[in-house]
Amino acid sequence: MSPAAPPPPLRQKKRRIAIMTSGGDSPGMNPAIRAVVRMGIDKGCDVYGVYEGYEGLVQGGDLIRQFQWSEVRGWLSEGGTLIGTARCMAFYERAGRLKAAKNMVLHGIDALIICGGDGSLTGADKFRSEWPDLVQELVDTKQLTAEQTKPYKHLNIVGLVGSIDNDMSGTDATIGCFSALGRICEMVDYIEATASSHSRAFVIEVMGRHCGWLALMAGVATGADFIFIPEKPRPEKWREEMCAVVAHHRQNGKRKTIVIVAEGAYDQEGNKITPEMIKDLLADKEGLALDTRITTLGHVQRGGSACAYDRYLGTLQGVEAVRAVLDATPDTPSPFIAVNENKITRKPLMQAVLDTKEVANAIAAKDFDRAMSLRDTEFSDMYNSYRTTTSTAIDNSVHLPPKKRMRIAIIHVGAPAGGVNPATRAAVAYCLTRGHTPLAIHNGFAGFARHHGDKPDGAVREFDWLEVDNWANKGGSEIGMNRETPVESGMELIASLFKLYKFDGLFIIGGFEAFQSLSQLRKAREQYSSLCIPMTLLPATISNNVPGTEYSIGSDTCLNELMAYCDKVKQSASASRRRVFVIETQGGRSGYIATLAGLAVGAVAVYTPEEGISIAMLAADIEHLRKVFAGDSGQSRAGRLILVNEKASKVYSAKLIADMIREEAHERFESRDSIPGHVQQGGVPSPMDRTRAVRLAIKCIEHLEQFEDRSDSAILSNPQSATVIGIKGASVVFSPMKEVEENETDWPNRRPNHEFWLELKGIVDTLSGRPDVPRPESPLVGWKAKDKKRGLS
């Protein structure tokens, strides 16, 4: 007989929450665990980690341990899951779940946050539904007393979806999927280089038994020639279709062929499509006769540290999971934490699980249209975008009638940002597919203005498809860009050149200067008839400060570069043990990059232009650092970082702040400053910037071609004739430029009036343990005070 169970601790005011990971591991799980632990402790809860997944719940003992604040320091940059995950057959049986319930009661835990896939989350919800019966059985079998179990009549469950496949319905992204996509794109980029050198074909197999997200996004991001995904199986004649596409590309001069196949790929008849079948077809001497190789990426897709997006996604979802636990009642359906475009939301867990399984059912029933419809809108958009960019000029049936075809100018304005070239490639592909003429304006409006009279100097030319086809993974701007606006170049000259080249539409890609340029062109329409054409802007800037959108192309690339830089600096700081690095970030007068990077690297403090810096704030932060290092015996391996935006203060630069810290430390610890500078503009664009650039650029050209009536009166009277495309909340929208200029723009500070991410700064402070410090008086507050004294309020 086993000894009587010890009585659990008396129910205290503190809530006890457990966090566990289950199923496969994925990058970003550790940031989620860290967020749950620290947010829970901040909210006055005791937080426990369950090691080895459900196995830990069943076995109990040392596999359920209370976490302290400092134990999760340094977890942001660690891959996999540091609390482990394991398959547990015992939990599938009621006896196993009974043991799990007993162990939770013994530890005083009545809330469970689980990070895993749909199978793990389904098991969790079943556990919750059985909980009252399990607890009663523990009493009936005298394993626990009624008094012991009285405070634990209900179990609250919150799900976090950790999956590299991104296969959960109801959310745009699962924790780990973009890190895995990054590994794939990195490998394909390497393979493309050798493929081009040797004029070879490569068949690349990626993960995805029931979900083709990785294969699809990798195909879009790398410009693959052909893809195979479970949701859209190829018809019986897929061999002929693939060979026709590859042959067309080769005839156009391509030296490389890349085919990406998901491991769960089948044709429409349910026959498995293997990499070997594709290789044999491409290498067939009677057909294409290409030197073809197979690469199976395997578990390399799971490995390594999480990308910036997965770090802050895991962090924000972990924070929201704690809030959901504290908000829950016995009647609250189990939620999971989702993200739709840029918005963190709670959704019913079991409905999402049912919807996810319905995709597999639809595929099994060969109802492929339904399978596609059950994926999110972005999935369908991306598939259509991929088809457009890979079948350019193959199918003339999709060409518009000649009278509807347009001469569309494409110009880059502002500073370089990752994703500008992929966006241009996609726009050119769509134009050629529809019969439009895409025209490159080289070197922005400054290059355009070098024209004199009717003697062009080559700054405008038609795009060549073979040239742009290689731009899928190129950073910077291949046609050149600068910050000069039309007013600076000379509006009359610019208008005359629009007339000279007979532009029917204008597609601008760039940052705040591009936004300013579109505003100037719109206002000049009344004076210049040649400017009465549809125009649209795709925001692309590392600063993410363009009004009309919450996401600018290039900002994700910047965050990844800055995060990698900070990780290296933090490693240096941790080697020295007692060192603080003050790192200056770019971002103009927007603190977006500094704040999101602060979430991704665990900064002690972040200084932004929106908040400013004061001597009282610095003094409080320095005092906090003193206490932190005084309480640190030197065993901690994590260095400490402070991020300061380049324009957070006119006086307190990164170097000055580092010098102040060093002076006040009195040799108890050290400080250094570091400036990554233009490294933040990135080299190779991130997969998120590549794929979103493709999706949004195609939408922009689709928007322009809607304007069949391009008379001056029609253009002037239609607010949608000058727009900025953007992600707002959970939607992609075209906002009228006039409306955005007047209602959404902080012109003096070159940023939106409302910055959606501002509330995230508080989360950075909470998770770093930063105390409440004196906040600088806002300039706006100061002006209001002056106005009140002058009787102007």
pLDDT of residue 455: 52
pLDDT of residue 787: 36
What is 556-683's CATH topology?
Rossmann fold (3.40.50)
Question: Taking the mean position of all CA atoms in its chain, how far away is CA 700?
Answer: 21
Residues 6+ apart with CB under 8 A from 318: 31, 32, 33, 34, 35, 36, 39, 113, 160
Residue 209 assigned ligand-binding role? yes
Element (H, E) at 145: none
Residue 24 assigned ligand-binding role? yes
Q: Cα(89)–Cα(59) distance, rounded to whole angstroms? A: 12
Kindly state the DSSP code that residue 504 receives in the 8-state scheme: S
Instruction: Catalogue the active-site residues.
Output: 165
pLDDT band at 760 (very low <50, low <70, confident <90, very high): very high
Segment 550-565 shows an average pLDDT of: 96
Residue 672 assigned ligand-binding role? yes
Alpha-carbon torsion (170, 551, 379, 734), positive or negative: positive
Residue 1 assigned ligand-binding role? no
- Dihedral, CA atoms, 188, 193, 199, 203, nearest 10 degrees? -10
What is 177-301's CATH topology?
Rossmann fold (3.40.50)
* Domain boundaries 16-174+306-359, corresponding CATH code: 3.40.50.450
pLDDT of residue 638: 59
Residue 103 assigned ligand-binding role? no
pLDDT of residue 88: 87
Q: For domain 402-553+685-752, which architecture applies? A: 3-Layer(aba) Sandwich (3.40)
Whole-angstrom CA distances from 141 to 135, 138, 178, 317, 591 are 10, 5, 48, 39, 59
Is residue 73 predicted with pLDDT exceeding 70? yes
Listed range (211-215, 450-454, 724-728) with the worst mean pLDDT? 450-454
Enter the tokens of residue 121: 């989350």
- Dihedral, CA atoms, 337, 339, 344, 349, nearest 10 degrees? -20
- Dihedral, CA atoms, 127, 129, 131, 132, nearest 10 degrees? -170
Segment 684-701 shows an average pLDDT of: 96
Q: Cα(260)–Cα(184) distance, rounded to whole angstroms? A: 10
- Tell me which residue of 66, 157, 115, 124 sits closest to 310, measured CA to CA: 115
Residue 527: burial class (beta carbons within 10 Å; 0-12, 13-18, 19+): exposed
**What does 604-637 look like in DSSP terms, one character per residue?**
SEEE-TTT---HHHHHHHHHHHHHHHHT--S---
Whole-angstrom CA distances from 579 to 398, 532, 604, 635 are 61, 58, 12, 13
Listed range (3-12, 196-205, 481-490, 681-690) with the worst mean pLDDT? 3-12
Residues 6+ apart with CB under 8 A from 676: 561, 562, 565, 583, 584, 585
Listed range (325-334, 347-356, 780-789) with the worst mean pLDDT? 780-789
Q: Cα(59)–Cα(51) distance, rounded to whole angstroms? A: 10
CB 424 within 8 A of CB 465: no
pLDDT of residue 630: 83
Strands 745-746 and 751-752: antiparallel
Q: Cα(607)–Cα(647) distance, rounded to whole angstroms? A: 9
Element (H, E) at 271: none
Residue 42 assigned ligand-binding role? no
Residue 385 assigned ligand-binding role? no
Which segments of the chain belong to CATH 3.40.50.450? 16-174+306-359, 402-553+685-752
Entry pTM: 0.92
Is residue 47 predicted with pLDDT exceeding 50? yes
Residue 200 assigned ligand-binding role? yes
- Tell me which residue of 490, 581, 594, 481 sits closest to 540, measured CA to CA: 481
Q: Cα(705)–Cα(175) distance, rounded to whole angstroms? A: 37
Which segments of the chain belong to CATH 3.40.50.460? 177-301, 556-683
Residue 548 assigned ligand-binding role? no
Enter the tokens of residue 718: 């239609």
Segment 238-249 shows an average pLDDT of: 92
pLDDT of residue 392: 67
